[in-house]
A = this chain, B = another copy of it.
């Protein structure tokens, strides 16, 4: 292939912890790196730049993929806010260890000046919750057969981790590491996308079906996960000066093509992804004493690669 690839998320799947990696034997379960190296170009999907957000922090960019099939109203409202420059100059106001990074209008949080609230412009101030949606034949479903503590069924839809309750005819995106969702106040329609959070710890699955998930971070998670933890209650930064400024957020489609994220996402209905799941479930190599036999929905991040021309 006439391009270089840099593998991003799949490093988290390299299971061994040797100080110096041993060379694999031929009959061993292949590593994720090996499996990805053997993948075919058509197993990768280039995300629609209309569904990609690029957030710039001074430390680097964070790229998020939105899923309008699961939260059409919220995705649309966020894009309105982005295009009307609502987020340019807002800040990360909360970083709670093992939980979430959250950004919001600094005037909306404790210590802010409520008289300086930003205008939502032409975006909606309230929206019907999109905590779940109906199951539809148009939605792909790659079921994980290993069970789940919280949901009747789990799997992948449109390459996002998700769950289903066939009896209730409901499906929803789940909270895993990197999940992007809508903060809100008590009223269920009080979220509008101006306040967003990303999971940076153990998957808080209790939030499933209680908040509107709109997508996930596909590049730059480390920029968020390494931020200093807030010392106020619930991880809010205690002082406005501690807040982390967001330089701007853009829809990738609005950027010059040279500035768009150049990434591909492994299709979860591909043979390579199935092999990765199988390797996580029943790994056989010199390291593993006891393959787990199962895999949790949040234990296998969907691989993303940065595809740059040489």
Interface residues of A (CB under 8 A from B): 11-12, 14-22, 96-100, 102, 104, 108-110, 129, 131, 146-150, 176-178, 183-186, 188, 195, 197, 201-211, 221-222, 225-229, 233-235, 280, 283, 286-292, 294-296, 298-299, 301
Interface contact A185-B22, CB-CB below 8 Å: yes
Residues of B within 8 Å of A209, CB to CB, are 289-290, 292
- Chain A to chain B: the 9 pairs with minimum beta-carbon distance, closest first: A186-B286, A206-B292, A222-B229, A17-B183, A18-B185, A177-B202, A19-B108, A12-B98, A209-B290
Interface contact B299-A205, CB-CB below 8 Å: yes
Interface contact A280-B149, CB-CB below 8 Å: no
Residues of B within 8 Å of A296, CB to CB, are 149-150, 203, 205
Q: A227 is contacted by which of B203, B226, B235, B299 (Cβ under 8 Å)?
A: B226
Interface contact A289-B205, CB-CB below 8 Å: no
Residues of B within 8 Å of A147, CB to CB, are 147, 149
Interface contact A149-B148, CB-CB below 8 Å: yes
A146 to B147, CA, bound (A): 12
- Report the minimal beta-carbon distance from A185 to chain B, rounded to whole angstroms: 5
Quick one: closest B residue to A99, CB to CB? B12
A289 to B221, CA, bound (A): 29
Residues of B within 8 Å of A148, CB to CB, are 149
- Report the minimal beta-carbon distance from A115 to chain B, rounded to whole angstroms: 15
Interface contact B186-A234, CB-CB below 8 Å: no
A-B pairs with beta carbons under 8 Å apart, 7 shown? A11-B99, A14-B96, A18-B185, A18-B186, A188-B289, A202-B203, A225-B225
- Report the minimal beta-carbon distance from A63 to chain B, rounded to whole angstroms: 15
